[in-house]
Chain A
Amino acid sequence: MLAYIIQRIIRVIPQLLLISILAFIIIQLPPGDIVTRQIERLQASGVTVSEAQAQALIRQYGMDRPMYQRYLLWISNIITKFDFGYSYTFEKPVAQVIMERMGYTFAIALFAHIFTWTVAIPIGIYVAVKQYSIMDYIVTLVTFIGLAVPAFFLAMIIMYVALTKFGIRTGGLFSQEYMVLPWSWGKFVDLLKHMWLPIILLGTGGVAGTIRTMRAMMLDELRKQYVTVARAKGLSEFNVIVRYPTRLAINPILSSVMWLLPWLFSGGIILEIVLNLQTAGPALYAALRNQDMYMAGAYILITGALTAISAILSDVLLALSDPRIRFGGVEGA
């Protein structure tokens, strides 16, 4: 088992390397180099930049060195000092900007996922049991539409309705008066008051897909003989459905838990921007509008790494539950 885990980790290293190179290329993409743009920005804000200061900036970003050395500088700073570069939009190190907002991002995404499951799984089971009933058709239709409506469209419509029908201005995570205050009970309550909307909106985005998976899996299981046997043995209908087929049908959804990790980080960027939340997504957006690319590099690298880690975790879990994989009977894809 240990050998399998080690083998899996070794295989992911070149993958991470490639992701980091891609992230670095993206940082370098905008025309003109970072230092020139930084100097232009300083001059535009009325600061005169001396030749010595310019040279210092050039050295700091490694602009006097070839590309591969700059990459090495960037990646080694990340690994050793967790330094992803500097964001001039926020006038802070990128890592700090992201860390400050990470908590909200994770909390919203996590609760959104829980919301998705509590809504989608029971509905999925219900429509599978009542296949071809009117409810089944209605739910199928709604999920079809749900798959076609991105969360931020829904957000715009709900914000519009909230504003015109109820006079509530939604958006943001805090009311104006709590924005700058230190943490207190009042601020916490205020946060909760603002958080339910993004949670529900983001969660709704996943409901349609989960219902469809759940329904399809459940239909497969319900056809199997053990269900008939369970019925024949006189189990109550509730037990027949919930105790056996549901447990199996829920598997693919549970194994998708692993993919939660990267999703927590970047699942709802556009929604977060529309709702103007103090999370990591809108920060990326603000940085990108100024072609402040270190932020983007960090974002892509972190999400990519989280995805790779998730893949290892889910493979390991799979191996734990399936000895054929553990002993190398099945070639890993």
Chain B
Amino acid sequence: MSKKTLQKKQLGRKTRRQIPEGQEEEFYRAGQWQLVWWKFRRHKLAQIAMVVLGILYFIAIFAEFVSPHDPLHRFKDYLSFPPTAIHIRDAEGRFHTPFVYGMKMGRDPNTFRPIYEENSSIIYPIGLFVRGDPYKLWGLIPSDVHLFGVGGGDEAMPLFLMGTDTIGRDVLSRIFYGARISLSVGLIGVAISFVLGLLLGGISGFFGGVVDEIIQRVIEVITTLPTIPLFMALAAALPREWPQLRIYFATTLILSILGWTGLARTVRGRLLSMREEDFVLAARLDGESEAAIIARYMIPGFLSYIIVSLTGSLPGMILGETSLSFLGIGLNPPTISWGVMLQDAQDIMNVAHYPWILWPVPVVVLAVLMFNFLGDGLRDAADPYVS
């Protein structure tokens, strides 16, 4: 009996309680991925994380539709507007579907800061699929239907669930659009790290010898470099006149420059240990080519480790983008990202008067936290044969 099946048997004994009666047969016949999935299912936090991240990415993909407003629309009558209070009971005590009152902007006579007065005579119901700012979904499909908001054209009181910034743009809509940049930076960065790590780690582990030595030394040097100063220096060196799209890709590239080393080490380590495994020897004796051995037997063997390593590097990239953009040396307006939004919070007086501009903070923390949970769950599930 091979080592693997033995372990599977032992795991079987331990997890039998989780397997419904009469399905043990199924457990023994399950493939690796089935086992990974079962093990992942036992990690509740990771599952919650997957749902939350799913929602976040859904919002990012359908930002135009989900946001109540155009993120660049400046509501001149609602500058630095506090988050709108939602009521279900009007002044006379009658119940309605959720609604907001109309608000009128005035100026504080001393500080000239905007202050708002509630006009409880008019109520504006919040509705689903209301018409608002026109947009083009993914730049293609024109529409003006938004998932939620206050309908009724320009006269109606707009809905600002998280308030507006100093020039009257809706914070919530900006967070939704910002998710597009902030959440995709991580994915693209991870994709670049993936290619670099797999390639260099693969070469290193497979060929060994001098090539391995050189790649390992380079990795050693890269891990020696200080992350934040290096990010800052590289980001600051980008030409100022570049278009934002190019800056975006350059920033992503910068973030993944340091990210690939961990993956390369994982891949190399796995390849080195797997080369000695019986099943590789068996494949070789069967006359399989080296390329086929790597592609068909070795890569599936450590794919789960790669996924774990990649998920682990996502939070760092999201935080990296946020930090750089916050400092003004990554992305800059008019691009919208969570870090760019926080640039307004650099002035603490701004935060003191309009604390709702800090909303991107909990959102970033939520995203990072969820990726950490997901990473934890995946790490536990990555090797389903170990209990």
Tell me the A residues contacting B by CB distance below 8 Å.
14-15, 18-19, 22, 26, 29-31, 144-145, 147-150, 152-153, 156-157, 159-160, 163-164, 169, 171, 262, 265-266, 269-270, 273-274, 284-285, 288-289, 291, 293, 296-297, 299-300, 303-304, 307-308, 311
Contacts and interface: CB of A to CB of B under 8 A. Distances in A.
A19 B228 contact: no
B365 interface: yes
B23 interface: no
Nearest to A292: B236
Interface stretch (B137-145, B202-210, B218-226): B218-226
Contact of A163 (B218, B236, B348): B348
B237 A270 contact: no
A273 B327 contact: yes
Contacts of A156: 345, 348, 351, 358, 361
A15 B220 CA distance: 8
A160 B236 CA distance: 28
B352 A160 contact: yes
Nearest to A21: B221
B239 interface: yes
Contacts of A18: 217-218, 221
B217 A14 contact: yes
B295 interface: no
Contacts of A274: 346
Contacts of A299: 226, 229, 233
A157 B327 CA distance: 17
Contact of B365 (A145, A160, A297, A303): A145
A284 B232 contact: yes
A289 B225 contact: no
Interface stretch (B154-162, B165-173, B283-291, B366-374): B366-374
Contacts of A148: 315, 365, 368-369, 372
A147 B315 CA distance: 10
B234 A29 contact: yes
A18 B222 CA distance: 9
A147 B218 CA distance: 28
A236 B373 CA distance: 38
For chain B, the bracket of interface size reads 35 or more
B329 A289 contact: yes
Given A144-B369, A156-B345, A163-B348, A296 B233 contact: yes
A266 B226 contact: yes
Contacts of B229: 266, 269, 284, 296, 299-300, 303
Contacts of A284: 229, 232
B211 interface: no
B215 interface: no
A159 B233 contact: no
- Chain A CB within 10 Å, residue with most, of B218, B226, B323, B346: B226
B267 interface: no
17 contacts: A26-B237, A29-B233, A30-B239, A31-B239, A144-B369, A153-B365, A163-B349, A164-B355, A169-B348, A171-B348, A274-B346, A284-B232, A289-B236, A289-B328, A304-B221, A304-B225, A311-B224
A160 B348 contact: yes
A288 B232 contact: yes
A217 to B, nearest CB: 18
A-B pairs, 3 with minimum CB distance: A296-B233, A29-B237, A288-B236
B348 A285 contact: no
B361 to A, nearest CB: 5
Given A19-B221, A26-B237, A299-B229, A153 B361 contact: yes
Main secondary structure of the interface of B (DSSP, over half): helix
A299 B229 CA distance: 7
Interface of B: 217-218, 220-221, 224-226, 228-230, 232-234, 236-237, 239, 315, 319, 322-323, 326-329, 345-346, 348-349, 351-352, 355, 358, 361, 364-365, 368-369, 372-373
Given A31-B239, A153-B365, A22 B225 contact: yes
A88 to B, nearest CB: 14
Nearest to B368: A148
Contacts of A22: 221, 225
B47 to A, nearest CB: 16
B237 A160 contact: no
Contact of A300 (B218, B233, B323, B368): B233
Contacts of B351: 156, 159-160, 163
Contacts of B221: 15, 18-19, 22, 304
Contact of A304 (B226, B234, B328, B364): B226
B319 A150 contact: yes
Contacts of A285: 232, 327
Nearest to A310: B224
Contact of A293 (B230, B237, B319, B364): B237
Given A269-B232, A304-B221, 11 more contacts: A14-B217, A26-B230, A29-B234, A30-B239, A144-B369, A149-B365, A150-B319, A150-B323, A152-B323, A288-B329, A300-B225
A300 B233 CA distance: 9
Contacts of B234: 26, 29
Nearest to A276: B348
Nearest to A308: B224
B358 A157 contact: yes
Contacts of B230: 26, 300
